[in-house]
């Protein structure tokens, strides 16, 4: 009898012990899965799925449960509804994804009040991270690419005058503002600044580009929300014969996402971008990442900068789960645990700045070339190590609040 009681106690201790240890962490993933921008969501979603598939063993005995929702059009309205539902109904403990800046801007008060950490995998308007102490960003700020591109365009590409063209929503204004600040500081002159309509649909870029062509600047800096828009830019730029007319196409890497690059054809060759990732970046982690990607999604599917950020995002979340031993109920502890997190990922060395909760990463100036194997690729023209978000460093506008 006494033996039986001991056995019962031992069994009880075992069950209590194991339930206390093995946690299931509920993660809400919000990405655009519908509409013309669905592509962007899929690029990140594939990276998330791949990371989870390969690395679930790393956080054992804990597990993650993923709840996916459609971010909808780039207005933030649908994102706000589905994310609020994820918090109140599904009780997710960590939120991630978020391609569009308007989504992150709209959600700041919700996330702050609910104290749920939101790990941003794309949305790049610089001041977003200032909106909530529960925001951590693994992707980039528009200033990561735009600001250094200003000086590079003036001194290395030979742009004395430039025209700006951007999709008319917060990151578009932010990216062109970043470029303009850097470009004018270096001595360049901006001739024209043209808003090109809403991000919800791909416009006919011709009238906008024709105007730039007629104004004859040395370069045009274009921001669009990547994906299908990028294909449209290459098409209009090629059709108008703008390179022949002496107008160079430059911008952030959104212009040449790797999964669209091969379809762009000759029109894209010579485009120079500033960015944190390309399939052709030469580092061991990137090679391994590409190999796993092709194994999972086929040889004609390519990851791009969004996928690379998605991969690092899930990596940071997994490392944090491990660090906290599955105890992620307290949102502020999760955020604290992420501060200063660093790794060597497909993009090279990335670190979460403890002060701003934004990413610190290497930036590369890259030119599109035709590679010896006939495919389009990039050539790295120059690299700057450990670049911070310059908007917050210089406390410009809303970045200073």
Binding status of residue 208 toward other proteins by CB under 8 A: yes
Angle at 171 between CA 263 and CA 137, to 5 degrees: 95
For the CA atoms of 290, 302, 31, 95, the dihedral, rounded to the nearest 10 degrees, stands at 10
Q: How far is the CB of 233 from other proteins (least distance, A)?
A: 11
Q: How far is the CB of 43 from other proteins (least distance, A)?
A: 11
Kindly tell me which residue out of 6, 61, 91, 263 binds other proteins, with binding defined by CB under 8 A: 263
Buried b (16+ CB within 10 A) or exposed e, 346-379: bbbebebbeebbbbbbbbbbbbbbeeeeeebbbe
Q: How far is the CB of 195 from other proteins (least distance, A)?
A: 5
Binding status of residue 246 toward other proteins by CB under 8 A: no
Q: What is the total count of residues that contact other proteins (CB under 8 A)?
A: 32
Kindly tell me which residue out of 58, 65, 168, 329 binds other proteins, with binding defined by CB under 8 A: 168
Contact status, residue 365 vs residue 135, Cβ threshold 8 Å: no
Binding status of residue 203 toward other proteins by CB under 8 A: yes
CA dist list (Å): 299 to 45, 49, 278, 302: 18, 17, 16, 8
Smaller CB distance to other proteins: residue 215 or 360? Answer: 215
Kindly tell me which residue out of 64, 178, 228, 250 binds other proteins, with binding defined by CB under 8 A: 228
Binding status of residue 196 toward other proteins by CB under 8 A: yes
Quote the crossing angle between the two packed helices 206-215 and 227-239, to the nearest 10°. 50
Binding status of residue 232 toward other proteins by CB under 8 A: yes
Kindly tell me which residue out of 15, 214, 299, 372 binds other proteins, with binding defined by CB under 8 A: 214
Report residue 229 as tokens.
């828009």
Q: How far is the CB of 31 from other proteins (least distance, A)?
A: 13
Binding status of residue 210 toward other proteins by CB under 8 A: yes
Per CB under 8 A, the segment of 76-84, 142-150, 210-218, 345-353 that binds other proteins is: 210-218
**What is the bridge-based pairing of β-strands 348-352 and 342-345?**
antiparallel
For the CA atoms of 388, 253, 384, 195, the dihedral, rounded to the nearest 10 degrees, stands at -60
Per CB under 8 A, the segment of 54-62, 113-121, 209-217, 270-278 that binds other proteins is: 209-217
Dihedral sign computed on CA atoms, order 110, 116, 122, 125? positive
Phi-psi region at 342: left, alpha or beta (left = phi > 0; alpha = psi -120 to 50): beta
Kindly tell me which residue out of 238, 251, 348, 377 binds other proteins, with binding defined by CB under 8 A: 238
298-317 binders of other proteins (CB under 8 A): none
Smaller CB distance to other proteins: residue 241 or 382? Answer: 241
Nearest to 96 by CA among 34, 45, 40: 45
Smaller CB distance to other proteins: residue 145 or 229? Answer: 229
Preceding amide of 61 cis, omega within 30: yes
Distance (Å, whole) CA 266 – CA 369: 9
Q: How far is the CB of 181 from other proteins (least distance, A)?
A: 21
Kindly tell me which residue out of 17, 61, 187, 207 binds other proteins, with binding defined by CB under 8 A: 207
27-46 binders of other proteins (CB under 8 A): 33-36, 38-39
Name, in order, each residue with C-beta under 8 angstroms of 109's C-beta and a sequence gap of 6 or more.
132
Binding status of residue 270 toward other proteins by CB under 8 A: no
Distance (Å, whole) CA 329 – CA 313: 19
Smaller CB distance to other proteins: residue 21 or 201? Answer: 201
Contact status, residue 271 vs residue 367, Cβ threshold 8 Å: yes
Binding status of residue 194 toward other proteins by CB under 8 A: yes
Provide the binding-site residues for other proteins, judged by CB under 8 A. 33-36, 38-39, 168, 194-198, 201-204, 206-208, 210-211, 214, 227-228, 231-232, 235, 238-241, 263
């Amino acid at each position: 009898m006494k033996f039986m009681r001991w056995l019962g106690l031992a069994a009880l201790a075992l069950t209590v012990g194991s339930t206390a240890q093995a946690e299931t962490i509920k993660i809400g993933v919000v990405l655009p899965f519908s509409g013309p921008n669905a592509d962007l969501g899929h690029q990140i979603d594939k990276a998330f799925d791949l990371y989870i598939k390969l690395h679930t063993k790393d956080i054992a005995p804990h597990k993650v449960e993923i709840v996916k929702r459609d971010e909808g059009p780039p207005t933030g309205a649908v994102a706000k509804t589905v994310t609020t539902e994820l918090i109140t109904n599904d009780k997710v403990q960590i939120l991630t994804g978020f391609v569009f800046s308007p989504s992150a801007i709209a959600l700041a008060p919700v996330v702050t009040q609910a104290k749920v950490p939101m790990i941003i995998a794309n949305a790049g308007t610089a001041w977003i991270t200032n909106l909530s102490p529960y925001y951590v960003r693994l992707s980039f700020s528009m200033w990561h690419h735009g600001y250094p591109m200003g000086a590079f365009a003036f001194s290395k590409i030979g742009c004395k005058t430039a025209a700006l063209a951007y999709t008319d929503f917060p990151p578009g204004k932010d990216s062109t503002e970043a470029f303009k600040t850097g470009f004018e500081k270096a001595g360049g002159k901006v001739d024209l600044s043209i808003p090109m309509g809403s991000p919800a649909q791909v416009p006919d870029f011709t009238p906008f580009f024709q105007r730039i062509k007629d104004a004859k600047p040395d370069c045009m800096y274009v921001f669009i929300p990547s994906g299908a828009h990028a294909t449209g830019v290459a098409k209009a730029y090629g059709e108008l014969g703008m390179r022949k007319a002496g107008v160079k196409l430059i911008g952030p890497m959104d212009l040449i996402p790797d999964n669209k690059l091969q379809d762009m054809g000759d029109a894209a060759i010579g485009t120079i971008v500033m960015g944190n990732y390309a399939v052709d970046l030469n580092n061991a982690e990137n090679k391994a990442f590409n190999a796993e990607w092709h194994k999972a999604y086929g040889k004609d599917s390519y990851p791009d900068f969004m996928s690379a950020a998605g991969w690092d995002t899930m990596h940071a979340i997994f490392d944090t789960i491990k660090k906290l031993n599955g105890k992620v109920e307290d949102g502020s502890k999760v955020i604290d645990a992420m501060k200063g997190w660093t790794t060597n990922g497909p993009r090279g060395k990335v670190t979460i700045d403890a002060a701003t909760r934004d990413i610190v990463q290497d930036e590369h100036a890259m030119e599109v070339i035709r590679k010896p194997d006939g495919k389009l690729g990039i050539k790295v023209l120059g690299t700057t190590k450990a670049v911070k978000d310059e908007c917050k460093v210089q406390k410009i506008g809303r970045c200073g609040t």
